[in-house]
Structure 1
Amino acid sequence: MSLPDANAWQLPWRGLGLSSNLDAGDQPHPYRLLAGSPGLFDFVEYSAPLSLEETRAHASLFPEMWERRGEVPVLFHPVHLNLYGPELEPVKALQDLDAHARAVGSAWVGNDIGWWHAGGQPFPGYLYFTPPFTEAGVRDSVAHALHVQSHLSMPLALENPAAFARRGELHVLDFLARVQARTGLPLLIDLGHLLSYQLAAGLPLEAGLDGFPLDKVIELHIAGGVVTRRRGRGYYVDDHTQPVREELFALLESLLPRCPSLRAVTFEGDGHPPEVAALTLRRLRELVPAAPRPPLTLTPVREPAPELTRESAPWSLFETGYGEKPETGGDEEGARAETDFRLAVVAETLDKDWPVSRLLLAGTREELRTFTASREFRELFEGLGRSPGHAFAAWARRRVRERPDEGAAAALSFETYLPSAFMMRAPPAPGPGQVGLAEDVRVGTFPVDLTELVFAAKSLRRHLTGRAWACEVLDVSGLESLAQVARRPAPGPWSFVVRRKGRRLEVVTLPPGMLKELCSLMQGPRAVEELPSPVLSEGLARGLLRRG
């Protein structure tokens, strides 16, 4: 494919922006925030699939974003884009990216230098792999970046990745400067990501900035995060739902006058309630006023992409990151912290669909690591699986065959069956004077009664989490009591209530009398006066019933 045909890139001043995942149900809703506080920010930077058609189909906020892009400009920050890893992005995917960015008027596209996905699957929690900060890592990242840029009509801005462990002889800023020098591409500095490296290396926050090409920086990111400490060492976890740390506000203030090519500052505030996001944006507005500035002219990059060497061994990073093999000869403490965080993200992902089975079969660090080191998990990223949940189900079934456990087998069978409750036709909506099941509630049946197990799993989670606050460690030995309960199910058949809550299903335990009344409503609504008053009151209060 020919390189972009343009004499110059004209990058407009975008000012202060707010990030969004384009889900109308997420907080903060950028357009409602602007409606309540006009001028609070200037643009929206959003994450979405590379394909415009896929984004249209799945991003519920896309229609409003599309309709208002003339008054509220947008920047596309895809995060589905590999700028490191064993394989280059397919040409078709990059053509989709270019068409998407051009259609919405994104003046540039920014992305972290990292390995985001493999085999069609993003890594759990979009927790990418950071390249090693070595000469081999530089070469492979340059190959990826120039390959992507060769298919784009607008510039690709290279973002410094987050880091738990020190891998390689280069400082992250030296690594980024070398990639920039060999590609000629502009830069995006994420302040929290920079803090993550400085903590891992035991360095002051501004270490490495002297001599760094700040004149190539066109965008800055600031977001929430948490600093944790163990064994005398600090780690920064890039969690956008958390408050922005004071040292990042200070770093932003010091960098603003030192970045002459700066075009945008983005607050990655996804997950913040609107009133909290507004407080942060007002503080940032004082640093980034709304006054317009002239466009920045950049010369398009025409460097051919070199061959990908794979010398930086991304699959070796995968195996270390998910605990299949230990780090040797490097930052072993940082590597363990990274593995622990990845395992926590995997557990959180699995608990959406397998909250009981996961505790019974992969409740400890070592058991969870056995899953992530399994062929079922690895095949997920080789194009042979559908989702982490499906990989866990396949591994769990094999695990129960090899080490029979009737309690775990019953839990696994139940949670495998659970989604089918929502495949049944929903009961009719209640009419005037009637009451029926809430729209997101169903009643199902199972051969044995797991009421105690469902309750015990929720209760034990609360107990162990509460103890962890006091003891500073999660005492997973307490899971043995859950295994006891799993081995003593009551006789069936068992009727149960299941409710959809966001992206997960919740089994609700109820007294027999109330359960009987809700079961009857699966046949259709009933007159309000036919339901016992306590059942009606509690059902409405818990969101299990609805009036016509």
Structure 2
Amino acid sequence: MSDAHLPSPRVAAALPNRSGVGLKPEHIDEILRDRPALGFFEIHAENYMGAGGPPHRRLEAIRALYPLSLHGVGLSIGSPKPLDREHLARLAALARRYQPGLFSEHLAWSSHDEGYLNDLLPLPYTQETLATVCEHVDQVQTALGRPMLLENPSTYVVFKESTISETDFIREIARRTGCGLLLDVGNVLVSAINHGFDALAYLDAFPLQRVGEIHLAGFAEARDDSGHLVLIDAHDSPVRDRVWDLYREMIARRGPIPTLVEWDNDVPEWPVLLGEARRAEAAMAQALSTMNEGARRHAV
């Protein structure tokens, strides 16, 4: 192979404890021109499962400059049916190709028979479902040769047959499989408002020591037929103040951690998204300062 066909040298794969954003095709030229100081970019795995072409050439140029976080939306980890072996093989090939700092997927299901749905749907928290999810997580980690992160869901309904709390369900998956966790702070708030529980109590019960990445995103507001407020994990607007407050609380408890700002719908101009990433870094620094000041006072 000639030198002209060798991959470009890359920065280290590990994600720093900084902020990152989702990589959007309309922003790539501007990013490559300006090379902003960001911790990492996230890509959705399913967008890059083709063999080659311009998308991969542009992604390789990004990978030469920044670490990547690989995020899946199509494995259907929570489905009772077996994982799609071809999809898993394509995912593993993509991970080998770009060596992302981490891979994450949703605690949800999105397939039925031969069809794939556009939504990430919730699942009942039962012993049977727990066994299925753990089996699927084990299969993914074996295929990738690395631990994965599992993301907590945003939910709008609960199942009567659930016999395990969400935090205990997630904790047990991590214990049985050795996987890490992705804590979506926005999802915590969305579910807390929709189901009437305390978001801080959720953090109290969540296995924070297993968290390897945080997601932040904007939400939309609606009213149900009874007039009750419903939050929707829309990913179409800036991160709200209540999510920032919960994020700072999370950092104060867990310490610095790679943090992604998600904005997947009604994607703004690049400076707007970059500004959200800068705000995440400022919020992380503020929380760490508060944490360190508290530690100093306690020591005295």
8 Å contact from structure 2 (residues 41, 66) kept in 1: yes
Runs (5+) with no aligned partner, structure 1: 1-9, 290-548
Equivalent residues in 2 for 1:67-106, closer than 5 Å: 67-106=61-100
Deviations 1:17-72 (A, max 9, x none): 1013x5x24xxx15515745721x221101132874x1635xx5432221231211
8 Å contact from structure 1 (residues 112, 160) kept in 2: yes
Equivalent residues in 2 for 1:11-26, closer than 5 Å: 12-13=15-16, 15-20=18-23, 22=24, 24-25=25-26
Deviations 1:312-335 (A, max 9, x none): xxxxxxxxxxxxxxxxxxxxxxxx
Distance apart, 1:247 and its partner CA:
0.7
Alpha carbon RMSD of aligned pairs, Å? 2.4
8 Å contact from structure 1 (residues 17, 42) kept in 2: yes
Distance apart, 1:288 and its partner CA:
4.2
- Once residues 200 and 135 of structure 1 are traced to their aligned partners in structure 2, the CA distance between those partners, rounded to angstroms, is 24
Equivalent residues in 2 for 1:514-533, closer than 5 Å: none
1:106 partner SS: coil
8 Å contact from structure 1 (residues 45, 76) kept in 2: yes
Name the amino acid aligned to 2:201. A
2:108 partner SS: coil
Distance apart, 1:104 and its partner CA:
0.6
Distance apart, 1:279 and its partner CA:
2.7
Structure 2 CA distance for partners of 1:50 and 1:61, relative to 1, 3 Å: closer
- Once residues 211 and 255 of structure 1 are traced to their aligned partners in structure 2, the CA distance between those partners, rounded to angstroms, is 12
- Once residues 191 and 91 of structure 2 are traced to their aligned partners in structure 1, the CA distance between those partners, rounded to angstroms, is 29
Deviations 1:424-481 (A, max 9, x none): xxxxxxxxxxxxxxxxxxxxxxxxxxxxxxxxxxxxxxxxxxxxxxxxxxxxxxxxxx
Distance apart, 1:121 and its partner CA:
3.4
2:136 partner SS: helix
Determine whether 1:241 maps to 2:236. Answer: yes
The residue number in structure 2 matching 1:149 is 141
Q: Please report the TM-score for the alignment, with normalisation by the length of structure 1.
A: 0.46
Name the amino acid aligned to 2:150. L
- Once residues 284 and 30 of structure 1 are traced to their aligned partners in structure 2, the CA distance between those partners, rounded to angstroms, is 21
The residue number in structure 2 matching 1:138 is 130
- Once residues 104 and 64 of structure 2 are traced to their aligned partners in structure 1, the CA distance between those partners, rounded to angstroms, is 20
Equivalent residues in 2 for 1:39-118, closer than 5 Å: 39=37, 41-49=38-46, 52=49, 54=50, 56=52, 61-118=55-112
Structure 2 CA distance for partners of 1:178 and 1:157, relative to 1, 3 Å: same
The residue number in structure 2 matching 1:257 is 252
Distance apart, 1:11 and its partner CA:
5.2
Equivalent residues in 2 for 1:57-456, closer than 5 Å: 61-123=55-117, 126-167=118-159, 168-230=162-224, 231-260=226-255, 263-270=257-264, 271-288=267-284
- Once residues 233 and 284 of structure 1 are traced to their aligned partners in structure 2, the CA distance between those partners, rounded to angstroms, is 30
- Once residues 198 and 96 of structure 2 are traced to their aligned partners in structure 1, the CA distance between those partners, rounded to angstroms, is 40
Distance apart, 1:78 and its partner CA:
2.1
Equivalences, count: 268
Deviations 1:486-544 (A, max 9, x none): xxxxxxxxxxxxxxxxxxxxxxxxxxxxxxxxxxxxxxxxxxxxxxxxxxxxxxxxxxx
Q: Please report the TM-score for the alignment, with normalisation by the length of structure 2.
A: 0.80
2:104 partner SS: strand
Distance apart, 1:214 and its partner CA:
0.4
1:151 partner SS: helix
Structure 2 CA distance for partners of 1:36 and 1:120, relative to 1, 3 Å: farther
Structure 2 CA distance for partners of 1:34 and 1:224, relative to 1, 3 Å: farther
